[in-house]
Amino acid sequence: MELDDVNTIAVLGAGNMGHGIAEVAALSGYEVNIRDIKEEFVQNGYEQIEWSLNKLEEKEQIGEGEADATLDRVTPLVDVGEAVGDADVVIEAVPEKMDIKKDVYQEVEEHAPDEAIFATNTSSLSITELSEVTERSGQFCGMHFFNPPVRMQLVEVISGAHSDEETLDVIEGLAEEFGKTPVRVHKDSPGFIVNRILVPLMNEACWLVHEGEATIAEVDSTTKYDIGLPMGSFELGDQVGNDVSYHVLEYMHEELGDAYEPCPLLAEKVENDELGKKTGKGFYDYEDGDGADVP
């Protein structure tokens, strides 16, 4: 498969990352099938794409009429066969759990064309292990976007132990077609590069608050105004989703040891479904769950 052969992209999972990736792909002119397991999930993802495209058009970041034209290239689906049957590239962005992702790949393998490339947006899990549940471990790699995909420049392109060069080249080229900057990650280790650094930072911020050393406001004002990061640690946690950070840490804890033990404060947020912007409440409260109101 060459980059020029890519016309249709299937995005599996219509959550925060899935709908953002689908939007980016459609903005670049690709036909996009976005799929989730329930009609309400896929509909919600589709509406988030519409909201975001309208916002971009209002701000003249895209041309007049481009929001509708882009949306026309997005097909929301529940049937997995329909979603991947004509796909050249399948980008998977389902929940960050090894078992869930493996089940998805087994199902997708039955329906996707033999030449289709599988790219996982996993935040931390082993690309090699995921690829081994398919019959195409050479045509399999990581394509890790950052939240919100429409705004973040970086894409990590991660090589699993079996990924072939041709596949990595196509996915790197695709990231460039999306207007992103791909960075090749040669080692398939937990959290890859960015999350190996960023997620422990967010976890450490939780430990500071959990142990009564600082308040959320103090931590966030120092990260934002002193270190110079664009968001405070807790704002960022709410942006990426507290469940995502928690699952990444659980995996890193299992694979890399106690330094990555998830803080109970984070676990509590997940138990209470206070996942951040997407549920309207996380470390901060949001007026509505659409991600528009950063405190």
Residues of this chain that interact with ligand 3HC (CB under 6 A) are 52, 55-56, 123, 146-148, 150-152, 195, 198, 230-231, 236, 239-240, 244, 291-292
CB-based contacts of 84: which residues, under 8 Å, 6+ apart?
10, 12, 33, 35, 90, 108, 111, 112, 116
Least CB distance from residue 135 to ligand 3HC, whole Å?
27
Least CB distance from residue 1 to ligand 3HC, whole Å?
26
- Copy the structure tokens of residue 250: 């659980």
Catalytic residue, candidates 33, 52, 121, 123: 123
Give the residue among 189, 129, 190, 192 at the shortest CA–CA distance from 162: 129
Q: Which is nearer to ligand 3HC, 76 or 200 (CB)?
A: 200
Alpha-carbon distance 125 to 294, whole Å?
29
Catalytic residue, candidates 156, 235, 250, 274: 156
Least CB distance from residue 107 to ligand 3HC, whole Å?
23
- Copy the structure tokens of residue 259: 């330094």
Catalytic residue, candidates 144, 163, 235, 274: 144
Run of H or E residues at 154: strand 154-158
Judge whether 9 and 31 are in contact, CB under 8 Å. yes
Least CB distance from residue 20 to ligand 3HC, whole Å?
6
DSSP-derived secondary structure letter, 118: E
Judge whether 295 and 232 are in contact, CB under 8 Å. no
Alpha-carbon distance 175 to 158, whole Å?
12
- Copy the structure tokens of residue 27: 């903005």
Judge whether 156 and 144 are in contact, CB under 8 Å. yes
Asked about 195 being catalytic, the answer comes back as yes
Asked about 156 being catalytic, the answer comes back as yes
> Other CB atoms closer than 10 Å to residue 129's CB: what's the count?
14
Judge whether 31 and 131 are in contact, CB under 8 Å. no
Catalytic residue, candidates 195, 203, 233, 245: 195
Alpha-carbon distance 246 to 244, whole Å?
5
Q: Which is nearer to ligand 3HC, 88 or 192 (CB)?
A: 192
Q: Which is nearer to ligand 3HC, 78 or 98 (CB)?
A: 98
Q: Which is nearer to ligand 3HC, 163 or 223 (CB)?
A: 223
Q: Which is nearer to ligand 3HC, 3 or 231 (CB)?
A: 231
Least CB distance from residue 195 to ligand 3HC, whole Å?
5
Q: Which is nearer to ligand 3HC, 165 or 288 (CB)?
A: 288
Least CB distance from residue 95 to ligand 3HC, whole Å?
12
DSSP-derived secondary structure letter, 95: -
- Copy the structure tokens of residue 102: 């493996």
Catalytic residues: 123, 144, 156, 195
